[in-house]
Amino acid sequence: MERPFPTVAVVGLGTMGAGVAVALARSGRRVIGVEAGPTQALRALDRIEASTARAVERGRLEADERAALLALIEVGDDLSAAAAADLVVEEVPEDLELKRSLFAELDRICPPGTVLATGTTALSVTRIAAATSRPERVLGVHFFNPVHTMRLVEVVRTVLTDPQAAEQVAELARDLGKEPVAAGDRAGFIANGLLFAYLNQAAAMFESRYATREDIDAAMRLGCGLPMGPLALLDLIGIDTARTVLEAMYAQSKDRLHAPAPILGQLVAAGLLGRKSGRGFYTYEAPGSSRAVPEAQADARPRAAGREVRSIGVCGSGTMATGIVEVFAKAGFPVLLAARSQEKAERAKAQLARSLERSVARGRLSEQDRDAALALVTPTGSYRDLAEVDLVVEAVAEDLAVKRELFAALDELVKPGAVLATTTSSLPVISCATATSRPRDVVGMHFFNPAPAMKLVEVVSTVLTAEDVTATVLELCAKVRKHPVECGDRAGFIVNALLFPYLNDAVRMLQEHYATVDDIDTAMKLGCGYPMGPFELLDVVGLDVSLTIEQVLHQEFREPGLAAAPLLEHLVAAGCLGRKTGRGFRDHARR
């Protein structure tokens, strides 16, 4: 079977266009490159020659392969040369009228059977196609930068695109060693549509001074396994580019969550565009540098000293409780593992022993350290035994009434001056604090599951938490080798407040038949470097847990865009909860 599109024209040979041209030539296709003028054409050819020379130096390309692919690329400034192509890929700047004018001219120049593809990342493919007399032969083909390493290609159909043309472009992408995904025509398509809404909310979170830029970025890297934090990623993408994409998304959705955070407009107006200008959310050594330089902190007040912590109590007998006990015991702290009965406490310690044994078997822990950690843990079925500990960590069920009852009991039983911490991930810490007569001693200490492996702890201070209590928990995190991030007491804290709206957006995308589960997951893994796609993650977390957090976020912030997607509600009502039931967005029972 003949490969699709043996001759391809690429109009616009900037960084992206040049990368596409090289990828096409490496596949053995003839490439006709078109630039705006003779000077630009010479620069584009120099750019292609330089990038392929670097590829040879780095061992990604043989010298004879480079010579062969360069022989397949011709670069000029005459648009009429595109008439010889079977497919035209446009990669000019993100200006709708510029693209519409170009497509109208290509429509006049090229034979009726030629497929015209726009590389836009944010503009309406339908509006671009409407500038031609062949909208059924017009589609979007969104490569990701850098083209030579990024495997994802979004193939974007309008309501008029011929399915055969879209499939031919998908086959071309596969022939280039890429992974094509099918998307409908809306701003941002799949990857950017989900990514930029999340980035926008992170920018708004920083703007509100809810958390520092470092803590927001660390929270998402360590809490979600993302390759970069959102603010550092905005600097990499370019704040002006991000704002353009968000404006296009808002124009289509009218969702306030897509309206660019004011700080993005302020940074653009000031010329602070991120790495390319040398300053954005972070300051860099020079324009184009990836190395951020430290800046003086606006608040230079010395921190309060923390309270002394020599012994710890952990309330609970589930996986999270035993994981937290393991963290403290391995760091050398005596720990009282307190449960509602001695039997439950003993079972929890047995679970801890199995976890430590697995660490020994994997070579992560010596037998001596295992025995030392176990010796520091005392199981008890009575909360009264917590009377003399310096810090109590509550890790019971996510039920506000249960937690308030426990904190009221701890208030009576635990000595004055002891710190009381809740591990809640979705309930207000202040509600636990006000169940006691000492709310200044209560703080949030949100570990992530599995606690021994996950580095992140969100340290949540209420409006009543004493400064030395926050300092105590921050110092303790350092002693147990966890990375603390500070935030205030509002729904979702940092991680869940940014993560779950993104997951909800993915469900809405599926609900609207915009893309499939597989294509959405593939787009986020290959296009954004996420360790899991949103539906894989939803099935792991549990659809019921996700729905609860979505409802908490919506109730707290009252944003219509945060309302849980009806499809998520329906699946939970049907008992499809993800891996734990064998059915969710993916049918785990059949795997």
Q: Tens digit of pLDDT for each residue in 159-203?
A: 999 999 999 999 999 999 999 999 999 888 999 999 999 999 999
User: Does one domain contain both 322 and 223?
Assistant: no
- The 3-state DSSP class for residue 452 equals coil
CATH number of the domain where residue 340 is located: 3.40.50.720
User: Does one domain contain both 288 and 332?
Assistant: no
Q: Can you tell me the mean pLDDT for 328-347?
A: 97
**Beta-ladder partners of 420:** 392, 442
- Identify the band that residue 207 occupies on the pLDDT scale cut at 50, 70 and 90: very high
Enter the tokens of residue 9. 């024209």
C-alpha 206/C-alpha 193 separation (Å) is: 21
Residue with the bigger pLDDT between 118 and 148: it is: 118
C-alpha 267/C-alpha 56 separation (Å) is: 39
Enter the tokens of residue 22. 């090289």
CA distances from 461 to 114, 357, 440, 474, 552 (A): 61, 35, 9, 11, 19
Instruction: Give 132's DSSP letter.
Output: S
Instruction: Give 297's DSSP letter.
Output: -
Domain count across the chain: 4
Q: What is the dihedral of CA 263, 268, 271, 272, to 10 degrees?
A: 50
User: Does one domain contain both 136 and 275?
Assistant: no
CA distances from 323 to 288, 354, 382, 447, 485 (A): 43, 11, 20, 9, 19
Cβ neighbour number for residue 355 with a 10 Å cutoff: 18
Does the pLDDT at position 130 exceed 60?
A: yes
Tell me if 2 is assigned to some domain: no
Enter the tokens of residue 459. 């340290």
- Backbone torsions φ then ψ of 139, nearest 5 degrees: -155, 175
Q: Can you tell me the mean pLDDT for 548-569?
A: 94
Write down the residue that tokens 């990368």 correspond to.
19
**Helices 230-237 and 213-224: crossing angle, nearest 10°?**
100
C-alpha 131/C-alpha 100 separation (Å) is: 6
pLDDT at 268: 97
- Tell me the pLDDT of the chain averaged across its residues: 94
Residues classed as catalytic:
425, 446, 458, 496
User: Does one domain contain both 461 and 319?
Assistant: yes
User: Does one domain contain both 474 and 336?
Assistant: yes
- Identify the band that residue 96 occupies on the pLDDT scale cut at 50, 70 and 90: very high
How many residues in total does the chain contain?
Answer: 591
**Beta-ladder partners of 436:** none
Write out pLDDT tens, residues 287-301. Answer: 989 899 987 665 556
Tell me if 300 is assigned to some domain: no
User: Does one domain contain both 227 and 145?
Assistant: no
Tell me if 335 is assigned to some domain: yes
User: Does one domain contain both 371 and 478?
Assistant: yes
User: Does one domain contain both 454 and 326?
Assistant: yes
Lowest mean pLDDT of 85-94, 461-470, 488-497, 579-588, name the range.
579-588
How buried is 87 (Cβ within 10 angstroms: 0-12 exposed, 13-18 middle, 19+ buried)? Answer: buried
Q: Can you tell me the mean pLDDT for 369-398?
A: 96
Tell me if 302 is assigned to some domain: no
CATH number of the domain where residue 549 is located: 1.10.1040.10
pLDDT at 204: 97
Question: What are the residues whose beta carbons fall under 8 Å from the beta carbon of 35, sequence distance 6 or more?
Answer: 12, 13, 41, 43, 44, 75, 76, 77
List Cβ<8 Å contacts ≥24 apart for 66-74. Answer: 69/22, 69/25, 69/26, 70/25, 72/25, 72/28, 72/29, 72/30, 72/31, 73/21, 73/22, 73/25, 73/31, 73/33, 73/48, 74/31, 74/32, 74/33
Q: Can you tell me the mean pLDDT for 100-129?
A: 96
Enter the tokens of residue 434. 């006000």
User: Does one domain contain both 127 and 69?
Assistant: yes
Tell me if 534 is assigned to some domain: yes
Contact between residue 179 and residue 495 where contact means Cβ atoms under 8 Å apart? no
Q: Pick from 446, 470, 488: which residue ends a domain?
A: 488
Task: Calculate what percentage of the chain has a pLDDT beyond 90.
Answer: 91
C-alpha 591/C-alpha 581 separation (Å) is: 13
C-alpha 45/C-alpha 66 separation (Å) is: 13
Whether the predicted model's global pTM rises above the 0.75 cut? yes
Tell me if 301 is assigned to some domain: no
Q: Pick from 488, 517, 536: which residue ends a domain?
A: 488
User: Does one domain contain both 321 and 470?
Assistant: yes
Tell me if 305 is assigned to some domain: no
Write down the residue that tokens 């295992």 correspond to.
370
User: Does one domain contain both 22 and 158?
Assistant: yes
User: Does one domain contain both 374 and 398?
Assistant: yes
Q: Pick from 137, 161, 184: which residue ends a domain?
A: 184
Tell me if 143 is assigned to some domain: yes
pLDDT at 591: 43
Does the pLDDT at position 379 exceed 60?
A: yes
Enter the tokens of residue 245. 């994409």
CA distances from 161 to 101, 102, 157, 179, 513 (A): 19, 19, 5, 20, 16
Domain boundaries, position 108: 7-184
